[in-house]
Structures are given as structure tokens and as C-alpha cells.
């Protein structure tokens, strides 16, 4: 193909492309003109000043719109907040409604189309004074369109989706949220219960019936953290406050009693409680909490009666709110020993008795003991300790630190170094109280609290707690050879073509593969219960390690499936611990020192060996 031919083809391609573009543009324009011709109205949705929605069998709902697009419901009464998004969609659907096909110019038999008693009638007024009205009747046979009646008497087909955009009950036309807070940040929360007990018998001890009791106030600081400001000033539990705030901010009503005759029928005169939320620079909004709804069926839970203090309607909302309300005036106070997020911790310095340990949080490897050196870290143990500190809560607040609290010379001190340049946070356990019932302790936010004896024991750990405790560990499927001497008898088990056979003692066979599986399961994860001695035994006989009860080694397969892989062990098991018959002394090349392991390991191995028989 020469250059001239290529040029001609290129020109033809461009011409064809332009022609196709022109035809597509023409067709799109023609379709738009057809749609424009079918439109009943020429006004813009923003030009609508009032819309009324009349659904069959329901009270009419009407709303007005200001030139800047703000809606206000005026029927059934003005004390209903509008759902602006739904009213905007309704207005847009009315402005864009089209006549898909004219059925009759002036029908004398509206019942034929169910237009004598329309299911929906929309009446609207524009800013020019024009009044429009569309009534909707039955769905036509294809279920795509619905018969409609224009104010001029024309019966036509309207799109079913247009009808659905305008067929809105009051519950969808009103703001669904119990408070009109939007997504703005809440900066203040007030909570109070109303005193519903007997009249005040002792002067000053309780408020009068129907009056608020203690008002709890939490406010957000410039740093974005919640702080209690009433009835005491203290750090607040961020998670607890945020959960309640978010729940109320985005709570929705399920059904309404528009004009309740007696509020006490709903537990709202007086209310059970008051929740007031405030966003920055705006007026506070209050939710009044009432009684639980009665369903008449003990197996079916009802909702919770409540009302927005600014409006007359009572509504039913999810009763889950009750689970988030504080039960005591100090319930919002931060009582956790560790309030910082665990993910914000970069390193930990832990000191308790002889234990002096530093851990670093490696992004890839997890927690690593960096001091003392040479310690393999038990990731699970560190995670459990952090979880325990996160869940552990103080049992009281004795006030500002005093010398007798012993917090300057703590028995336990845990320092957390945090990300983002935040100052370190410290937890301390000090001296016991005078009655020895509790210990003084310092939360990571600097407040003094009290801990019980069991609480202190739970967070006081030796070095052994942080180190890896595996004395023997492997994947069962990787085991290829087991050599053991137990109770004076030597055994050698080898796997050939996926089947285990007994090499020693000669002439023996396994009664059941399940016995071998039970033995492998027991040996594949042998963990120390406790560290008995950090160094090698000066007197092996003291631990029964000079003449051990058992010595076990396991050889693993290579990637090619041969038994020439690495060997784990020997795990050497000595005599029972004198103070605990359910533990035995043991050593392993995996960890230096002498450890205690559960007696149950030997019991499981012996049980498996019972069923070896003479072949």
C-alpha cells in the first residue's frame, strides 16, 4: 500500500467518524426535543413556592420553599422539620413530569382510570402565581406508566418512576433524625436523670420529684478530647462518650404521635432523662427520654418513647439508647488504666521487681524485646497484657497524689512511648491502702485511682512472661521421624509414603493411626508453664535430669519430602515438681534454662504408646 492510498483511507476514516458523531449528536438532540415537547411544565423546581401532597386516606402534607431553597412544612402543622432532600426530589419530579401519551382530552369517566378517587394528588404554586395540579390513578397494564389527570382535564400516562418520586408519606417528608444536628462535630454533651422518687423526706438530700438530679457535662477540648466539667473536672472515657454522642446524633424515629394529649402516658411528664448536644456556634438541642413502649406481648420488645424538646410530637426510637446512658454521675469518667490506643504505642518500658524490660513495636515483626538482649518475644503474651491494661479499670479516685500513696517508688511502672511526638504515658502501682484492701495506682492520664489485689497480680509479670515459651514446636504434617526414650524404653517412629511405622522396638506395629496423630498433636506444641532456673542446672539430679523420664527428638521432612531435614530436640523431661505434681521439670535446646511443663504431656504420650502391639 502506497502513501497516496493510505492518505485516502485516512481521509475516509475521518469523514466517517465525523458523520457518525454528527448523526449521534443529531439523534441526541432530537430525543431531547421530544422529551422537552412531552414536558407539561416549563418552570424550574426552585420556582415552586408551595407543594401539597395528598395521599388517599392520609392527612395532607404541605411545605413552602423560599427563593434560596429552604423548605418548611406548614401542614399538618409547622412544628415538623422537613426532609430537604426528599422535598427537592419531589419538586424536581413535578417540574420534569412528562405526558408519555394522551389518553383523553376531557374524560367523563374518570373511574375507568381510578382518577375519581386518586391515590395521590400533587398541588403546587410557583413564584409567578401559577397553580398546577396532577392526580394519579391506576397503573396501566404494562406496569410502566400510571394514569394521571392534569388540572386542565387531560388524562395522560405518566412514568411510574415519576409517580414513585412524588408518592411520599409524611414519615419520608419529615427529617428522620431525632435531633437536627447534621454531621457537624459535637462539642458539648449534657446528661441528667429526672428524680422520680418519693417527695424529699430529708431536706437537701434529693431534688423534688420531676426535677433534674446531678447534671453531667462533658466538653471537647481544643485538642479534640472529651473532658468532664461537671459534677467534677476529670478526663472522660473517649470511647464511652463518643458512642453515646454518635448514637444520639444519628438516631432516627420509627413512628410518631403528632399531638399527644398527655405526655405522662409516654413516660415524658416528667421525662426519665435529658440528653443535650451542641455543635460549635449553634444552639443546643435536647432529647427527652421517656418510657419503653408496651407491645402487649412479653416475647416482643417495644421501642422507646422520646421527644425533641423543641417540638410537640412524641416518637418511638430504638431502645438501644438505654444501654449507653450513664448509670452514675462519674460513669463518663476515664477509669481505664490504659486509655491511649494500642496502635499509638511505639515502645514500652516495663519494670516490676527484678523484671526490667524494653519492647519495641516493629511494623513487620510485631513486639520485640530489645532489652535484655537475646530474648525471643511471646507476641501473644504481650498482646494479652496490653488488652488486660486496656480493660482494667480503677475502683475509685482518692484524689491528688500524696507521698503515702507510694507512687514515687512504684512496685510496677509501665512507660508507653507514643507516636506523633506525644509525651510518654505512665502507669504505676504504688503502696497498699491502710486497710490493705486496695493499692494506689496511677492511670496513664495522670489520675490516681485504686486497684484490687487481683488487678495488681494480673499486671505484675516476670521476664519469663514476655519471652517465647516453645520448648518444642513444629507442623504435624512435616514430622518424618520421632526418636524417644520414655520410662526406660526406646522408640523410633518413621514415616514412609505417608504411613507411620515403628523401627524400634523391632517387630511392633501401631494399633491405630489415631494414636500416632494424638502423639504428634501433643508434641507439636510443647510450651513451658514457668521458668524454674535461668541457667544450666548445677545439680541435674535435683530436677531428675540426670536420669530423665523421657527424651524426645523430632526430625522434619525437607521440601522434597525426605527425612533429612532439621531435628528438634531433644526435649528432656525430668521428675515432677515437689510443690505441684501436675508439673515436671524439662529442658530444651530452643530455650536456655530449666522449665516446668504440664504432666499431661507425658500422660498423652504414654496413652498413645499403650496400643503398640507385637507385629
Mean pLDDT of 95-105: 95
Spatial CB neighbours of 605, under 8 Å, sequence gap ≥ 6: 484, 486, 519, 522, 523, 550, 552
Phi/psi for 155 (5° steps) reads: -100, 130
What is the b/e burial string over 352-384, where b = at least 16 CB atoms within 10 angstroms of the residue's CB? beebebbbbbeeeeebbbeeeeebebbeebbee
26-49 confidence digits (pLDDT tens): 555 455 445 556 899 999 999 999
Cβ–Cβ under 8 Å, residues 44 and 95 = yes
3-state secondary structure of 401: coil
Of the candidates 504, 467, 469, 466, the residue with the CA atom closest to the CA atom of residue 485 = 504
- CB atoms under 10 Å from CB of 56, counted, come to 11
The region that residue 412 occupies, defined by phi over 0 for left and psi between -120 and 50 for alpha, beta otherwise, is beta
Mean residue pLDDT of the chain comes to 92
* 132-178 tens-digit pLDDT: 999 999 999 999 999 999 999 999 999 999 999 999 999 999 999 99
Give tens-digit pLDDT for 416-449.
Answer: 999 999 999 999 999 999 999 999 999 999 999 9
Which pLDDT score, from 0 to 100, does residue 45 have? 96
**Cell 462535630, residue located:** 185
What average pLDDT does this structure show over 225-238?
Answer: 95
Q: How many whole angstroms separate alpha carbon 380 and alpha carbon 458?
A: 15
Pick the CATH number of 470-614 from 2.60.40, 2.60.120, 3.30.70, 1.10.3470: 2.60.40
| Overall average pLDDT of the 336-342 stretch | 96
Q: Given CA atoms 397, 399, 401, 405 in this order, what sign does their dihedral have? A: negative
pLDDT value at residue 32: 46
Separation in Å, CA 449 to CA 408, 446, 591: 15, 10, 39
Query: What are φ and ψ of residue 391, in 5° steps?
Result: -85, -20
Sign of CA dihedral 72, 77, 79, 82: negative
Q: Per-residue DSSP letters for 237-294?
A: -HHHHHHHHHHHHT-B-SEEESS-S-GGGGT-SS-SEEEEEEETTS--EEEEEEEEPP
- Sequence spans of domains, the chain: 45-173, 186-197+209-324, 342-466, 470-614
Confidence band, pLDDT 50/70/90 cuts, at residue 579: very high
pLDDT tens-place string over residues 536-548: 888 999 999 999 9
Model confidence at 463: pLDDT above 60:
yes
**482: CB partners within 8 A, 6+ apart:** 491, 492, 493, 519, 520, 523, 552, 553, 554, 555
377-398: average pLDDT: 96
pLDDT for 33 equals 46
182, 282 Cβ separation under 8 angstroms: no
Query: Which pLDDT score, from 0 to 100, does residue 73 have?
Result: 97
Q: How confident is the model at residue 558 (pLDDT cuts 50, 70, 90)?
A: confident
Q: Which of 309, 279, 318, 282 lies closest to 192, judged by CA?
A: 309
pLDDT of residue 91: 97
Amino acid at each position: 500500500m502506497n502513501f497516496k492510498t493510505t492518505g485516502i483511507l485516512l481521509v475516509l476514516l475521518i469523514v466517517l467518524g465525523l458523520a457518525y458523531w454528527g448523526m449521534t449528536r443529531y439523534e441526541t438532540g432530537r430525543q431531547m426535543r421530544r422529551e422537552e415537547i412531552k414536558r407539561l411544565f416549563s418552570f424550574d423546581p426552585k420556582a415552586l413556592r408551595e407543594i401539597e401532597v395528598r395521599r388517599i386516606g392520609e392527612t395532607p402534607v404541605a411545605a413552602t420553599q423560599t427563593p434560596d431553597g429552604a423548605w418548611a412544612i406548614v401542614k399538618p402543622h409547622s412544628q415538623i422539620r422537613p426532609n430537604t432532600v426528599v422535598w427537592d426530589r419531589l419538586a424536581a419530579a413535578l417540574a420534569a413530569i412528562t405526558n408519555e401519551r394522551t389518553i383523553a382530552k376531557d374524560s367523563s369517566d374518570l373511574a375507568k382510570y381510578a382518577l375519581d378517587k386518586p391515590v395521590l394528588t400533587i398541588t403546587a404554586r410557583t413564584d409567578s402565581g401559577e397553580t398546577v395540579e396532577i392526580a394519579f390513578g391506576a397503573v396501566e397494564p404494562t406496569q410502566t406508566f400510571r394514569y394521571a389527570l392534569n388540572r386542565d382535564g387531560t388524562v395522560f400516562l405518566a412514568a411510574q418512576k415519576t409517580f414513585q418520586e412524588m408518592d411520599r408519606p409524611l414519615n419520608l417528608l419529615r427529617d428522620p433524625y431525632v435531633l437536627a444536628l447534621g454531621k457537624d462535630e459535637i462539642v458539648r454533651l449534657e446528661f441528667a436523670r429526672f428524680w422520680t422518687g418519693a417527695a424529699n423526706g430529708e431536706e437537701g438530700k434529693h431534688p423534688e420529684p420531676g426535677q433534674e438530679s446531678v447534671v453531667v457535662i462533658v466538653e471537647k477540648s481544643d485538642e479534640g478530647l472529651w473532658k468532664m466539667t461537671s459534677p467534677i473536672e476529670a478526663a472522660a472515657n473517649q470511647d464511652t462518650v463518643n458512642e453515646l454522642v454518635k448514637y444520639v446524633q444519628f438516631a432516627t424515629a420509627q413512628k410518631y404521635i403528632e399531638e399527644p394529649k398527655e405526655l405522662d402516658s409516654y413516660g415524658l411528664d416528667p421525662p426519665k432523662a435529658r440528653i443535650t448536644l451542641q455543635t460549635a456556634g449553634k444552639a443546643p438541642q435536647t432529647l427527652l427520654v421517656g418510657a419503653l413502649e408496651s407491645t402487649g406481648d412479653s416475647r416482643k420488645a417495644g421501642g422507646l418513647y422520646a421527644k425533641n424538646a423543641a417540638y410537640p410530637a412524641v416518637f418511638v426510637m430504638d431502645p438501644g439508647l438505654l444501654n449507653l446512658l450513664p448509670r452514675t454521675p462519674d460513669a463518663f469518667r476515664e477509669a481505664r488504666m490504659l486509655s491511649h490506643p494500642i496502635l499509638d504505642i511505639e515502645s514500652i518500658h516495663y519494670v516490676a521487681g527484678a523484671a526490667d524490660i524494653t519492647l519495641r513495636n516493629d511494623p513487620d515483626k510485631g513486639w520485640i524485646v530489645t532489652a535484655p538482649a537475646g530474648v525471643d518475644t511471646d507476641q501473644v503474651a504481650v498482646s494479652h497484657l496490653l488488652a488486660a491494661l486496656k480493660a482494667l479499670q480503677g475502683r475509685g479516685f482518692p484524689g491528688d497524689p500524696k507521698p503515702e500513696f507510694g507512687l514515687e517508688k512504684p512496685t510496677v511502672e509501665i512507660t508507653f512511648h507514643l507516636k506523633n511526638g506525644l509525651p510518654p504515658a505512665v502507669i504505676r502501682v504504688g503502696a497498699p491502702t491502710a486497710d490493705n484492701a486496695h493499692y494506689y495506682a496511677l492511670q496513664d492520664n495522670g489520675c490516681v485511682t485504686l486497684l484490687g489485689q487481683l488487678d495488681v497480680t494480673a499486671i505484675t509479670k516476670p521476664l519469663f512472661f514476655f519471652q517465647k515459651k516453645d520448648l518444642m514446636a513444629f507442623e504435624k504434617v512435616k514430622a518424618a521421624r520421632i526418636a524417644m526414650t520414655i520410662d526406660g524404653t526406646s522408640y523410633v517412629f518413621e514415616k514412609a509414603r505417608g504411613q507411620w511405622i515403628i523401627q524400634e522396638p523391632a517387630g511392633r506395629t501401631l494399633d491405630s493411626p489415631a494414636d500416632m496423630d494424638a502423639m504428634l498433636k501433643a508434641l507439636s506444641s510443647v510450651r513451658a508453664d514457668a521458668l524454674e532456673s535461668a541457667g544450666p542446672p548445677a545439680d541435674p539430679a535435683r530436677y531428675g535430669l540426670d536420669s530423665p523420664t523421657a527424651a524426645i527428638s523430632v526430625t522434619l521432612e525437607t521440601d522434597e519430602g525426605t527425612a533429612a531435614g532439621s531435628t528438634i530436640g531433644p526435649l528432656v523431661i525430668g521428675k515432677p515438681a515437689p510443690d505441684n505434681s501436675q508439673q515436671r521439670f524439662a529442658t530444651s535446646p530452643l530455650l536456655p534454662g530449666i522449665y516446668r511443663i504440664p504432666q499431661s504431656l507425658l500422660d498423652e504420650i504414654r496413652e498413645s504408646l499403650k496400643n503398640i502391639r507385637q507385629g
